[in-house]
Amino acid sequence: MVPALSGLIFDDKSGLCFVVGESIPFTGKATWHYANGQTMQETEFVDGKEHGQERWWYEDGARAGQCSYRDGLLDGPCLHWHPDGDTKELQVVYRGGRRDGVELVWFANGKEISSARFELGKQEGESKGWYEDGTTAWVSRWKDGQEDGPSAEFYRNGNKKSEREFKAGQMTGIEKHWFENGAKGWESTWKEDRREGVRVEWFDNGQKMTETIYRQGQRQGLSKGWYMDGNKAYEEIYQTDELMRGIYWDRNGTVQPPDAVPAGLLRRWVSGEIERFYMGATVEIILMAFGEPDTGGNGAWVYEKVMLGGLSQQ
């Protein structure tokens, strides 16, 4: 038996353990100790790799965990205990370093925290989580190690907290959230793991709080916000997630002073970008992004000093 802290070293290059001063990989049992002399951990090695049983303890001597290794990889049952040394904290089986089978986790009161199934390292099927009192906290579904299918979270009172849909690890469809009292919190639509469409938030009294448009995961176009009493709070224009212009109201309905220079006149535009995003836009949106035109007539507005590719143009 070798006292590991004083006599055993790990060689990064070879990935093997050696006794200090020796060139042959270590075979035997290594031990670690607490300052009070109590054994902290025992690990068996063969030819420099963990192979056999590994056990560890809390400082007061209560058992903390045990697992098995084969040729340096976790292989077989792995158990963890809470500090009392009797109540299980975790139980799972490894095959060749990968979880294989059902992984169970428990609270200190003996109630389950979570249950998940693995097949050679990949999470599969339904996984569930619970609160300390045994009520469901969340449910998710997995395929080939990725979330796939409906997923939901719940409050302690049993009301649904959120629901999402996944496909091959990517969010898709409508994501919904609720307040604990059951009132809607917010909704958002996803496509290939990016927000797409309108995201809406509500106050817990049912009054709409915000409304934001997303295109390929970025804010785009007109976003609106309201106070809890329903009065307007703001209207903002976004261009590929960049705030171009905003109008803001205080709680009394008074419009706040605008920015000195509209963001549309500060941004460096790429050729064709303005036409793509603002062709056919409403007068309100154009004014919010670029401000009042410098000149106008015959159905056209002219803005001077618009930055196109870093150059000031009309």
Read off the pLDDT of residues 1-45 as tens digits, 9 standing for 90 and up.
455 545 889 899 999 999 988 999 999 999 999 999 999 999 999
Greatest mean pLDDT among 73-87, 225-239, 253-267, 278-292: 73-87
Q: Residue 251: inside a domain, yes or no?
A: no
| 75 falls within a domain | yes
Binned at pLDDT 50, 70 and 90, residue 153 comes out as very high
Q: Provide the pLDDT for residue 274.
A: 72
54, part of any domain: yes
Q: What is the pLDDT of residues 253-263, one digit of tens each?
A: 998 876 666 66
Q: What's the confidence (pLDDT) of residue 26?
A: 95
180 belongs to a structural domain: no
User: Residue 290: pLDDT band by 50, 70, 90 thresholds?
Assistant: confident
* Dihedrals phi, psi of 89, to nearest 5 degrees: -110, -35
Q: Tell whether 76 is covered by a domain.
A: yes
- The number of folded domains in the chain is 1
Predicted confidence (pLDDT) at residue 311 exceeds the cutoff of 50: no
Domain presence at residue 50: yes
Does position 183 have pLDDT exceeding 60, yes or no? yes
Burial status of residue 117 (CB atoms within 10 A of its CB: 0-12, 13-18, 19 or more): middle
* Residue 310 in this model has a pLDDT that exceeds 50: no
pLDDT(76) > 60: yes
Write down the pLDDT at residue 270: 61
pLDDT of residue 314: 45
pTM flag (> 0.85)? no
pLDDT of residue 295: 72
pLDDT of 216-231, one tens digit each?
A: 999 999 999 999 899 9
Mapped to the 3 state alphabet, what secondary structure does the chain carry?
Answer: CEEHHHHEEEECCCCEEEECCCCCECCEEEEEECCCCCEEEEEEEECCEEEEEEEEECCCCCEEEEEEEECCEECEEEEEECCCCCCEEEEEEEECCEECEEEEEECCCCCEEEEEEEECCEEEEEEEEECCCCCEEEEEEEECCEECEEEEEECCCCCEEEEEEEECCEECEEEEEECCCCCEEEEEEEECCEECEEEEEECCCCCEEEEEEEECCEECEEEEEECCCCCEEEEEEEECCEEEEEEEECCCCCECCCCCCCHHHCCEECCCHHHHHHCCCCHHHHHHHHCCCCEEECCEEECCCEEECCEEEC
Residue scoring higher pLDDT (312 or 226)? 226
CATH number, residue 53: 2.20.110
pLDDT at 88 over 80: yes
* pLDDT score at 7: 82
Compute the distance between CA of residue 87 and CA of residue 112 in angstroms, rounded to an integer. 11
| 15 falls within a domain | yes
State the pLDDT at residue 186: 95
The range of the structural domain enclosing residue 62 comes to 1-99
User: Is 229 within the bounds of a domain?
Assistant: no
More confident residue, 228 or 150: 150
Select the more confidently predicted residue: 301 or 42.
42
